Every structure is written in structure tokens, then in C-alpha cells.
Amino acid sequence: MHNILTLSARELAARVSRRELTAEAVTRAYIEQIQACEPSVKAWQFFDADMALQSARALDRHSHSSNALLRGVPVGVKDLMDTVDMPTSYGSPIYAQHLPRFDAACVAACRDAGMVVLGKTVTTEFATFNPGVTCNPRAPADAPRTPGGSSSGSAAAVAANMVPLALGTQTAGSIVRPASYCGVIGYKPTHGTLPLAGVKPLAPSLDTIGAFARSVDDAAFFVGALTRVNLDPQRQSALRVGICRTAHWDLASDDARCVLEHSARQLEKAGAHVHDLVLPASCDALTQAQIQIMAYEAAAAFAPERQREAGKFSLAFSQLLALGESLNGADFAAAQLLVIAARQALDAVFESIDVLLAPSAEGEAPAGLGATGNPIFNRFWTLLGNPCVHVPAGTGVHGMPVGVTVIGPRWADSLTLRAAHTLELSLR
């Protein structure tokens, strides 16, 4: 049973499709792992072993479809995404025991692909900054560290091997940063790759659905199956890589700096052409633009809850909405125009390179569970909508994971994943 946990998602799907494994056997193996790890990690907002087994048995009874590329593969779903058969609370007491009438589109796609939805993973409040209960499984129990946010449970569940794949969302740094802190692959596709229908909106021009996995190949296989796009990340030689330390390099720890340099050198050994790159001046104000756009859109999105249930907001969420309410339409338009100019400038940069390599976070996961860490190295990539893949690349002074982000041109997700896969292989 435990050998199942060592198989990639691609191999699990292949073996279930060939009837060498049953979906029930795979699900049982992961249920056992959840039952062993969940008391200390607390990654799951909702988990029902019997429900998961019923889903797996139904898959085993039905004839195999050629479209079910992920048949029998368990998945964790961030509790920001509607599920028709499980409560969806969006990380807020306002929606305690809320039961949606339909699945989110991305969840429906998972079921269409033959996946077993194991349960709902913990999210921070409305995917913002007020942390949940999840602990980082890479940290000692007597010295807890944040798993990051807002996709806390999804990152921690994959890191603890409680599920091979999990869905997350990113509006600022909510996929890349938890992936960095927990030491797993985090893939934020080009904005709009996966549909947002049925996902609680925070800032629709920024909100992006993505994936957590144990390997780049699994992340590519997962999202590729859901979108009907071939994202096969086979190794590519002679990549042109720009090292982008960003305008926030002074906030990078020694650990983050060392890991970035080491990753660059390993890519060179793998045949890549690597050189330093400074972003165009039009990108300098992007972090503040992302903060303004996120706050402005959140204030609009949560006007109904603010009018009726504002007393149940955390202080952090109330402050975010207050910032948004202090901005006007002209501020929002100015920020969006800045984004348009920055995208054009970055598109020009990608004419001479294939991908960028940048820090994923300031360094190791911060100690304690009172905050989710700083998304400073993620905000502008999310704002611009570029595909990002976090790759674990080493450990810091406290033995916690540290990694880097591979960033590619918009809609060049396959290229970005191939570069990330090359880096992943070079680090082994």
C-alpha cells in the first residue's frame, strides 16, 4: 500500500487505466497517510474518508473513458472553490457549512478527468492574509513555521504526501510562496488558463488557479489534462535564462541569494545560456500597482458581505477592504495602464531570452503561525499574468526549504515548464 505513495501522478493514472491498480486502492493509501499526518499538519478543512472511498469505487465500476487522463488520482481542493458535495467556507465564519449548488469549473474538470476529490484544504480568510490552522510539515512540531498563504492546506498536504496533487489560487503570492516554504512544486499558469467560475472572487484581474505537485512533470500533466493542452515538460537544451534579482533584492536573505546563484550555475551546467538581467524601469512601480488593484477589486467584490457581515471580518481583511475603499476609479485605471505598459516592456525582454529566474520568497518560512510571510517577490509576476513555476532548490540555515521561480512569457506555459523541469533535473 505504501508503495503507491511513491508513484507519480502520471504513473498512478496509467496504472489505474491499465487496471493494474484500482482507484480504491490508491485512495485508501492516501487516506492512511492523511490519518497519520493530519493531527499535526491540519491541512484539511473538510475530509471524509468514506465519501472519498465511495467516489473511488464509483470510478472503478464505470467503464474507462479515454478522456479520463487522471483516472484514480487523488486531488486536494482549496476551500475557496465550490464543491457540490462538500462544505465550502472560503476560510471565513460567514460561510460556515455553506453548501454550493454546483462545483467550481476547475473541480468539475477534475472529476471529468477521473480524479478522486479527497477533500477541501485550508485557505486563509478569503485567500488573503489572516492565517488558518495549518502547520508547515517541514518544520519540527516543537518549533512550528508557517506553510505560507493563502493556499496553506494545499501546499502542506502535498508536502506531507497526503495527496499527490492539489489545486490552489494566487492573487499575490498564494501558490509560489507556500510552495517555497513547504518545499514542493508550485505552478501558477498564465492568468486565465483555468476558469474562475465557482471560485470566490478576490480580485478577478489577478486571481489565478494553479497547482501544487511533487514534480514539475506532475504539475504539467495535471494542468495539461484539465485544459486539454499538451504541457509535456521534456528537457530542452540551450535555454536562454535571465537572472532577475528584482527591485526587492535587498529583502532577499543570504539563503535566497545563495539558492538563486546555485540554480543559475546548475542551469549553465545543463547547457543554458545564463546572464544577469535588470527589468525595465516601467516595472519599478508594479508592486504598489498590484496592491492597489487587489484592494480596489476586493472592496468591490466583498461589498455584499461588508454590508451585512462586516463584524465577522478579521482586522487584516477589514484593513484590505478599507484600502480599496480609499481608492477611486481613476486610481484603478492608472494602475491598469501601468500594467499595460509594463507587459509591453516585458514582452520585449522575452524577445532575447526564454525565461527569467527570480527569488520565490525572502528566504525560509518564518517561525510561528501568526502570519503567512511576505509576497513581495510574487506580486508583480501575478499582476503581469506571466506563468510561474516554483522549484525547490535547497535549504536554508534552519534546514527549511528555499527555492526559485521560473517565469516565462504569457501563454508560453509549456516553455516555462520545460525550463523548470530542466532546472529540477539539474539540481538532483
* Residues with a known catalytic role: 78, 150, 174
Question: Measured between alpha carbons, how far is residue 350 from residues 76, 229, 232, 415 in Å?
Answer: 34, 22, 21, 12
Cis-peptide, bond into residue 180, ω within 30° of zero: no
Residue 389 β-bridge partners:
187, 406
Q: Which phi-psi region, left, alpha or beta, contains residue 173 (left: φ > 0; alpha: ψ -120 to 50)?
A: alpha
Strands of 34-175 (E only): list them.
44-47, 74-78, 116-121, 165-170
- φ, ψ of residue 58 to 5 degrees: the values are -60, -40
Alpha carbons 170 and 157: distance in angstroms, whole number: 17
Rounded to the nearest 10°, the torsion over CA 76, 197, 374, 92 is: -80
- Which DSSP string do the residues of 336-363 spell out, in sequence order? HHHHHHHHHHHHHHTTT-SEEEEESSSS
How far is the C-alpha of 168 from the C-alpha of 77, rounded, in Å? 7
Angstrom distances, CA of residue 112 to CA of 64, 106, 258: 12, 10, 43
Rounded to whole angstroms, the Cα distance separating 136 from 119 reads 19
